[in-house]
A = this chain, B = another copy of it.
Amino acid sequence: MAVNTEGVKELRTRTGAGMMDCRNALVECEGNIEKAIDYLREKGLAKAAKKAERVAAQGSVFSYIHTNAKIGVLLELNCETDFVAKTDEFKALGHELCMQIAAANPQYISVEDVPAEDIEREKEIYRKMAAEEGKSAEMAERIADGKINAFYQDNCLLEQNYIREPKTKVKDLVVAEIAKMGENIVVRRIARFAIGV
Contacts and interface: CB of A to CB of B under 8 A. Distances in A.
Interface of A: 38, 41-44, 51, 54, 56-66, 68-76, 78, 85, 121, 124-125, 128-129, 132, 188-189, 191, 193-197
Contact of A63 (B54, B63, B132, B196): B63
24 contacts: A38-B124, A41-B125, A41-B129, A43-B132, A57-B195, A57-B196, A58-B195, A58-B196, A59-B195, A60-B68, A60-B69, A61-B70, A61-B71, A61-B194, A62-B69, A63-B64, A63-B72, A69-B85, A72-B74, A72-B75, A74-B74, A75-B193, A76-B193, A78-B195
B196 A42 contact: no
Contacts of A58: 195-196
B72 A132 contact: no
Contact of A73 (B38, B74, B197): B74
A21 to B, nearest CB: 14
A14 to B, nearest CB: 12
Given A72-B76, A124-B38, A191-B191, A129 B44 contact: yes
B76 A195 contact: yes
A102 B38 CA distance: 27
A60 B70 contact: yes
Given A61-B71, A62-B69, 20 more contacts: A38-B121, A38-B124, A42-B128, A42-B132, A54-B197, A56-B196, A57-B195, A60-B195, A61-B65, A61-B195, A62-B65, A63-B63, A63-B72, A69-B85, A72-B74, A72-B75, A74-B191, A76-B195, A188-B193, A191-B193
